[in-house]
Structure 1
Amino acid sequence: MADDFLDTILVVVPVRDEAELLHGCLEHLQRAMDQARLTRPAIRVHLCMVLDHCRDSSGAVAAAAAAGDPRITLISVDFGSVGASRRAGIADLLKTITNDADDEALLHRIWIACTDADTRVPAHWLTTSIALAESGSDAIAGTVEPDRADLDQELFAAWAREHHRHEGHKHVHGANLGVRASAYRAVGGFDPVPLHEDALLVHKLRRDGFRVLSTGRLHAVTSGRARGRVSTGFAGYLRDLARAPAAREDGQST
């Protein structure tokens, strides 16, 4: 739709002690950013890495990437909260792009793409997001799967039974989530919480009548480790799934 045209993409990635996996995340993101610019040369693409209380070499990895790519910026925070980190990264980029102007038309042309530092997105991640957004979506919930190298065959099969890549799936993953900036601001953005900030945002968007598309056309691979940066979350879900392969499909941020 002409009214849904985008001219700016903002990618936000919270980082908490992910030096080992951050290289792969950045390589895949830069590939997706490059493809977006090839497809739409006029579109602006920016990436903010939000370093949240990092004690490993994540900052050095991110700084090296930023030194070689002017599209990448870094901010350092001490929240210990993925919701607060996502919120801060988005606020930082929006301030830069909009100069704090509360311009609905300007915000409507900006797309916010969220993933995680332990996740690898496909090269078409942004180009497909652009196409789906411009076809009328205010937000897009993609799918993820844990890295098969991190799981045994039985546990991956249990995951696959509970998670499907079909259209209209029930899952919400902060590692593969996009939203139009105007819709994001209208519902108050990510809540500054340590868990389920992704599902809470989608709930608010749906509650307020925004167009949320759940699709398998955007699919990413994330870490399958059983010990994560918080006691629950995605890694906790995998631990529970290992204990009870018949885990329920509940549509939460898993």
Structure 2
Amino acid sequence: MIRMGVVIPARNEEARIDACLRSLAVAIAEARAVAEVSVTVVADDCSDGTEAIVASHAGVRVLRSRGANVGLARAVGAHREIADGCTWLAHTDADSTVPPNWIVEQVAAAQAGVDVLIGTVRPNFDELTAEQVAHWRATHVRGRPNGHVHGANLGVRVSTYLAAGGFLPLLEHEDNDLVDRMRGVGSITLASDRAEVVTSGRLVGRTMGGYAGHLRAIRDALNEESPAVAT
């Protein structure tokens, strides 16, 4: 049975963290025969009710970080999970929900010798326009993961994570930076869409770029392709 630590950075996510943790509880229950799972939420410079909501979920640990820095928050959570003996780190975000098979697929990858599992994400279609949803469907083919790295759906072997130096205190793109360095130490990497995570479709996130920035860029490109007709 694998010992897995789930790390979730959260900065003022009181509106979304409950759904995240509820989905994770289902995934943990689905994997109870193959994994011992602990969960750490890192409240990153929160000024809302995020910590109280996390505290209402039994068995979920909450740590505090005052850096307002997602790279540092992920590193804080990873350090604690590693200190407690986990051998695999599963990462998601507080504005995301994981599917029921999320932990099971992480375990399968770890047991197959994979060091880095790069999972796919999709935005919450309820938060997008019909045009944005159509664009997403047209550019994503089931069974053909694009290999884009997302902190909302990422799994890493602890030994390789440590060999690469772990997360750096970056304000954004800390996930891509880590995977680049893990590849540099010879990690076995797998891109998969078997356990796709649904993440927020908001256009303004907790960093200047990130997935929200990606969605803004798509919106802007679609607007340029379909300019409004003057009347």
Q: TM-score, normalised by structure 1?
A: 0.84
Partner residue in 2 for 1:130: 107
The 8 Å contact of residues 120 and 145 in structure 2, kept in 1 or not, is answered as: no
For residues 194-239 of structure 1, give each alpha carbon's deviation from its aligned partner in whole angstroms, at most 9, with x where no partner exists. 1111111111111221101011112010000111112221111111
Shift of 1:191: 1.4
For residues 67-98 of structure 1, give each alpha carbon's deviation from its aligned partner in whole angstroms, at most 9, with x where no partner exists. xx23x11101111111110000010121233x
Tell me the distance in 2 between the aligned counterparts of 1:246 and 1:126. Answer: 38
Matched residue count? 224
Partner residue in 2 for 1:73: 61
Matched, 1:14 2:9: yes
The 8 Å contact of residues 141 and 171 in structure 1, kept in 2 or not, is answered as: yes
Matched, 1:53 2:48: no
Tell me the distance in 2 between the aligned counterparts of 1:161 and 1:246. Answer: 17
The 8 Å contact of residues 168 and 213 in structure 1, kept in 2 or not, is answered as: no
Query: Could you say if the C-alpha distance between residues 130 and 53 of structure 1 is closer, same or farther in structure 2, counting changes exceeding 3 Å?
Result: same
Tell me the distance in 2 between the aligned counterparts of 1:83 and 1:164. Answer: 30
3-state secondary structure, aligned to 2:64: strand
Query: Could you say if the C-alpha distance between residues 150 and 168 of structure 1 is closer, same or farther in structure 2, counting changes exceeding 3 Å?
Result: closer
Query: Could you say if the C-alpha distance between residues 117 and 34 of structure 1 is closer, same or farther in structure 2, counting changes exceeding 3 Å?
Result: same
Shift of 1:64: 1.1
Q: TM-score, normalised by structure 2?
A: 0.92
Q: Give the aligned residue type for 2:10.
A: V
Partner residue in 2 for 1:85: 73
Taking the TM superposition and a 5 Å limit, the aligned residue runs for 1:18-29 are: 18-29=13-24
Tell me the distance in 1 between the aligned counterparts of 2:115 and 2:166. Answer: 13
Shift of 1:186: 0.5
3-state secondary structure, aligned to 2:194: strand
Tell me the distance in 2 between the aligned counterparts of 1:158 and 1:238. Answer: 11
Q: Give the aligned residue type for 1:49.
A: V
Tell me the distance in 2 between the aligned counterparts of 1:47 and 1:170. Answer: 25
Residue 140 of structure 1, aligned match among 117, 134, 138: 117
Matched, 1:213 2:205: no
5+ long unaligned stretches in structure 2: 225-231
Tell me the distance in 2 between the aligned counterparts of 1:202 and 1:165. Answer: 23
Q: Give the aligned residue type for 2:67.
A: F
3-state secondary structure, aligned to 2:88: strand
Shift of 1:36: 1.2
CA RMSD, Structure 1 to Structure 2 (Å): 1.7
Tell me the distance in 2 between the aligned counterparts of 1:85 and 1:161. Answer: 34
3-state secondary structure, aligned to 2:15: helix
Shift of 1:167: 4.3
Partner residue in 1 for 2:26: 31
Tell me the distance in 1 between the aligned counterparts of 2:72 and 2:223. Answer: 33
3-state secondary structure, aligned to 1:218: strand
Tell me the distance in 1 between the aligned counterparts of 2:143 and 2:132. Answer: 21
Query: Could you say if the C-alpha distance between residues 204 and 161 of structure 1 is closer, same or farther in structure 2, counting changes exceeding 3 Å?
Result: farther
5+ long unaligned stretches in structure 1: 1-5, 98-106, 248-254
Shift of 1:160: 3.3
The 8 Å contact of residues 3 and 37 in structure 2, kept in 1 or not, is answered as: yes
User: Percent identity of the aligned residues?
Assistant: 38
Partner residue in 2 for 1:176: 153
